[in-house]
Amino acid sequence: MKNTIQVGFWEKLARIILKNRITILIVLSALTIFLALQWKNLSMTYTEANLLPKDHIANKDYQKFLDKFGEEGNLVVIGFKDPKFFTPKNYAAWNELMTGLKKSKEVDLVVSLNDLKKLEKDTVNEKFVLSPFIDQSKALDPAYLKTVQYDLFHNLPFYEGLLFNKESGSVRSAIYINKALVNTAERKTFILENLVPKIDKFEKTTGIDLRVSGMPYIRTINADNMKGEIGLFIGAALLTVSLIFFFFFRSFRATFISICILIVGVIWSFGTLGLFGYKITILTAIIPPLIIVIGITNCIFLINKYQQEIKLHNNQAKALQRVISKIGVSTLMTNLTTAIGFATFMITGNDLLFEFGLVTSINVISVYLLTLFIVPIIYSFMPLPKEKHLYHLTKTYISTLLNVVENLVKTKRKIVYIVYGLLLVFSVIGVSQMKVSGSLIGEMPKSASFFKDILFYEKEFNGVMPLEIMIDTKKKKGVMKASTIRKMDELQTTIAEIPELAKPVSIVNLVKYSKQAFYNGNPEYYQLPTSQEQAFILSYAKNATKNSKENLMKAYVDSTGQYARITTFMKDIGTDEMAKVEKKLHTKIDEIFPKDRYEVTVTGKALVFQKGTSYLVDNLIESLIFAIAVIAILMLYLFRSFKMVMASVITNILPLCITSGLMGYFGIPLKPSTILVFSIAFGISVDNAIQFMAKYKHDLLQSGGKVKKSVFSALRETGISTFYTSVVLILGFATFTLSSFSGTIALGGLISCTLAFAMFANLVVLPSLVLTFEKKKTKKEELENLDKKIFFATNFTNFTN
């Protein structure tokens, strides 16, 4: 009874669609125009991806740090390693570059060689004063600049690791962007229209290769590259799927209709982003090409069914009715499973993934409805397809492929299961070798110039990824107590001994510099004051900090003197290495800072990102399990057979296992981009299983419960669409490998790989499992057929006798 109601609904829907063609087209056109107008709300994101929920302890610690010291990712570094720098011409060009940047309204502070300050003792006022390190009136004297070079590397240990590397001779300057602008569009304007042209001019003038890095610079260039790739993805995806579509169907009009549907789908996807006010991120940027690749499969199923019906009875009205009533329900289920695969990202607790999952799942269903309406309506206005348009249904290579598949399912199921088992064992071994990577720059394009600059800073200054340690003394002015300074110095010694971390900077550095200045700049006295010295040296230092404009360390102690920060930078290390570094730091912190007197927090963008990756791995595995469970329940509702659901799930888990194994063997880590592969791939790959099962169930009813006949008739009809859609999806996702972003390349390549294995599984493994699960019925059918053959043979023998 339920099945009758279901079929009646889809037949009624078909009549409504075909009777209201003009009205539906007008509504769809109006909706497209409305969503196109929402594009005005689109803009690129200006912040890093936060992979953790807002209430996660790591996010709370980081926010507490920001509340005390403000945005920490506002540093841009410009450096070089060139012995020719210390000449009048090159120094003058450097002075012009730095002076120009210092005058920019977007810049808060520039710490550079040309206006470097050195700390000196003012015995009259009993305080330290900052005086220029370089006498600009002598800057045209080559001999003087050589003296400056020597003094910099030998007499200013305070700036070592901060502005220069004594061993290699590399030098850099630090540009601090206005914290209020660092996460806005003004940062982009400053970087692209002010900073980059000035750097280009310096390089042309001097021939010195400047190395530029820092999170504001990296994020800006990265976003600019990402923006340029959106058009590339959309164009490549459209071109790829349309060429493959035409190759299969050999019909210009079918191809044109499909392209038009996909273009409208792209408009809707961008419009949805604008409507919700979401920014374009590394994830939401790939939604339009995803919709193209996924949407074309709907076109293939509907147009292929239409042409099959025309070939069968040559009745257009009947064919269009059946396209909607027969394929509508199965394609609805396939699109629901795909949408569920994306929607699982919404339960991770992460805003970035929530936006991606919501918009993609909405647009998957939207493009399905669009195709369900447009294909029958447009074909209803057109003449019947010609014979040449139906030729692909009887192509030799398709028939040969299906014959091979049918033979494997009929006679070699044991071999199929042995291969399945071996692949499973192979996968498990590979999975055991998988690693997790939380690299903040691991998703960035390796070919980009800034990536080479990152490697330069890792080698010369031990990285540019900020790591912060905030110390709460629980008392006002507690930071400047001698005991606190000594504890901070002990922690900094530990940090300096960790090879993955750069030389730390804090108020301790200024205290050491104060002693050096007190002893007339002698670098041998760059150390903490003794108990006898600290009273009068710290009094000099306190007097110096009264002038906030010339306070070297004002960013490292809060206004109350209760909170201090130690800033270091880290290399681009993986999650496992970062966990070891964090453990070392916490062990030392617990050793030297009593918890009843101090509260010490380790935080920073790089650490939050690392923890976010680990969090995603745990939550997306749960999401994948949730997706499989929900899809299985939907299939159980549709097919009312636990065996059919088990066959479909087992079939489509294998490709995920194989992909995981390959990731382990080839050293591809689990990271934010590759984690997404599994839910997406499962949601898409199970579509072909649903198409097969829907046809099998239909034929089972038509044939009076004959399993074998129904399996092979379903395989024959859905095998063509499975092959077509799989090839289109594989090559469609392969277009993502055109990206310069390694994360996007991995996403496209791994999904393509998974879908390739899924095609094999759905064509061969799924029908084999159905026959095995229904073994009793098939044996009974074979006995009945045998009895019939014996009966006819006996009658024939008696008749001839």
DSSP string, 591-613: HHS-TTT-EEEEE-HHHHHHHHH
Residue 211 backbone dihedrals phi, psi, to 5 degrees: -110, 125
Tally of residues, the chain: 801
**Bigger pLDDT: 171 vs 675:** 171
**Bigger pLDDT: 742 vs 483:** 483
Assess contact for 359 and 272: CB atoms under 8 A.
Answer: yes
d(CA 148, CA 88): 12
Q: Mean pLDDT across the chain, nearest whole number?
A: 85
Assess contact for 464 and 569: CB atoms under 8 A.
Answer: yes
Residue type, position 261, single letter: I
572: Cα separation from own chain's centroid: 17
162-220 pLDDT, tens per residue? 899 998 999 999 898 988 888 888 888 999 999 999 999 999 999 999 999 988 888 88
304-343 pLDDT, tens per residue? 888 888 888 888 888 888 888 888 887 888 888 889 888 8
d(CA 456, CA 558): 32
> What's the token pair of residue 531?
């108990």
> What's the token pair of residue 602?
């380790």
Q: At what angle do helices 196-206 and 88-103 cross, to 10 degrees?
A: 170
Angle at CA 492, nearest 5°, toward 119 and 558? 65
Residue 122 backbone dihedrals phi, psi, to 5 degrees: -105, 100
Assess contact for 609 and 626: CB atoms under 8 A.
Answer: no
Phi-psi region of 705 (alpha: psi -120 to 50; beta: other; left: phi over 0): left
Q: Does residue 529 have a pLDDT over 90?
A: no
Q: Does residue 9 have a pLDDT over 90?
A: no
Residue type, position 731, single letter: L
Residue type, position 186, single letter: E
Q: At what angle do helices 252-276 and 287-313 cross, to 10 degrees?
A: 140
622-660 pLDDT, tens per residue? 777 888 888 888 788 877 788 888 888 888 888 888 888
DSSP single-letter state for residue 279: P
d(CA 268, CA 631): 26
Strand duo 211-213 + 75-80: pairing: antiparallel
Residue 21's Cβ-count burial label (10 Å; 0-12, 13-18, 19+) is middle
Confidence label for 538 from pLDDT (cuts 50, 70 and 90): low
> What's the token pair of residue 155?
């007499």
Nearest Cα neighbor of 187 from 42, 74, 49 is 74
H helix or E strand, kind and range, residue 118 = strand 117-122
d(CA 301, CA 695): 13
Residue type, position 226, single letter: M
**Bigger pLDDT: 276 vs 283:** 276
- Looking at residue 787, its pLDDT comes to 47
Assess contact for 784 and 762: CB atoms under 8 A.
Answer: no
Who's near 581: CB < 8 A, 6+ residues apart?
498, 500, 501, 570, 573
Assess contact for 498 and 595: CB atoms under 8 A.
Answer: no
Task: List the single range of 24-28, 132-136, 269-273, 391-395 with lowest mean pLDDT.
Answer: 391-395
- Looking at residue 545, its pLDDT comes to 52
- Looking at residue 785, its pLDDT comes to 52
Nearest Cα neighbor of 367 from 252, 279, 241, 247 is 241
d(CA 145, CA 86): 6
H helix or E strand, kind and range, residue 79 = strand 75-80
Concatenated DSSP letters of 152-189: HHHH-GGGBTTTB-TTT--EEEEEEE-TTTTTSHHHHH
- Looking at residue 4, its pLDDT comes to 42
**Mean pLDDT value across residues 493-521:** 89
What are the angstrom distances between the C-alpha of 360 and each of 226, 282, 292?
19, 14, 11
Residue 140 backbone dihedrals phi, psi, to 5 degrees: -90, 0
The percent of residues above 70 in pLDDT, for the chain, comes to 91
Assess contact for 312 and 384: CB atoms under 8 A.
Answer: no
Angle at CA 197, nearest 5°, toward 194 and 199? 105
Assess contact for 651 and 766: CB atoms under 8 A.
Answer: yes
Residue 444 backbone dihedrals phi, psi, to 5 degrees: -85, 155
572-604 pLDDT, tens per residue? 777 778 888 999 999 999 999 999 999 999 998
Residue 126 backbone dihedrals phi, psi, to 5 degrees: 55, 55
DSSP single-letter state for residue 801: -
Nearest Cα neighbor of 320 from 387, 365, 246, 372 is 372
Assess contact for 686 and 631: CB atoms under 8 A.
Answer: yes
